[in-house]
Amino acid sequence: MTPTEDSTARDILAWALDTFGRRFAISTSFQDSGMVILDMAARISRDVRVLTLDTGRLPQETYAMIESVRERYGVTVEVVSPDAAEVESMVSQHGPNLFYQEPALRTLCCHIRKVRPLERKLRELDAWAVGLRRQQGETREGVPKVDLEATPVKLSPLADWTKEQVEEYLRRQDVPRHPLYEQGYASIGCAPCTRPVRPGEHDRAGRWWWEEESHKECGIHFGPNGKVRRTLDVLLEEVLSSDYA
């Protein structure tokens, strides 16, 4: 039976594994919510596919998590990388640290290093699961557990979980945790774009901290709007049409 908003996280994952088999995968950057989903799915089937994006700017600790997951669960972590020619074109035109200049250039970097490679990988799938939770910020408040209208079908099994529920599961199942949490990080992405959070700050305050709160998504789950969207389209066209790409 197709899961609903009342279905548990485990039931959603069991349905996806049974319905889609190898055409289903978990996409994770090995943060806490993603690790809960991975652990839960691996307890259902060791044949679960696990995807992760290697943007080329990840902290070393994230690569260590890939090895921890491989050793703990015996799964193959499918590492998805950006197109080298697109990265070369972008960096040649705008510099290696373009993301600090303006929101549109940061979004361009995310688009080249994350969104486009993931879109290419998702063409292999009929469904995928992510660790989005509604409690993570106002841009995620309306995240559905099961989005059957998306292509491929998009699952957020922990959408209604609290941070406390995630932490309790991690403790109870002794799930590996990303080493940067011990250094004060609450949300972990690329090394230049992530910092530890300060006391009293929201968990995602350490992501792209030089930007306004409204722009703090990479584009995988939510695209930019307005001027940023229009500027991104122009920048992306320039990158893809250059002699480098």
Q: Which are the catalytic amino acids?
A: 218
Query: How many other β-carbons are positioned within 10 Å of the β-carbon of residue 108?
Result: 28
> What are the contacts of 96-102 at 24+ separation with CB within 8 A?
97/192, 99/192, 99/193, 99/208, 100/192, 100/210
Cβ(185)–Cβ(196) below 8 Å:
yes
Q: Which two three-digit tokens encode residue 32? A: 């806490």
Q: Are strands 24-27 and 153-155 parallel, antiparallel or unpaired?
A: unpaired
Give the C-alpha distances (Å, rounded to integers) separating 33 from 8, 113, 176, 183, 209: 15, 22, 12, 18, 21
162 φ/ψ angles, rounded to the nearest 5 degrees? -90, 165
DSSP-derived secondary structure letter, 141: T
Instruction: Report the C-alpha gap between 142 and 184 in whole angstroms.
Output: 28
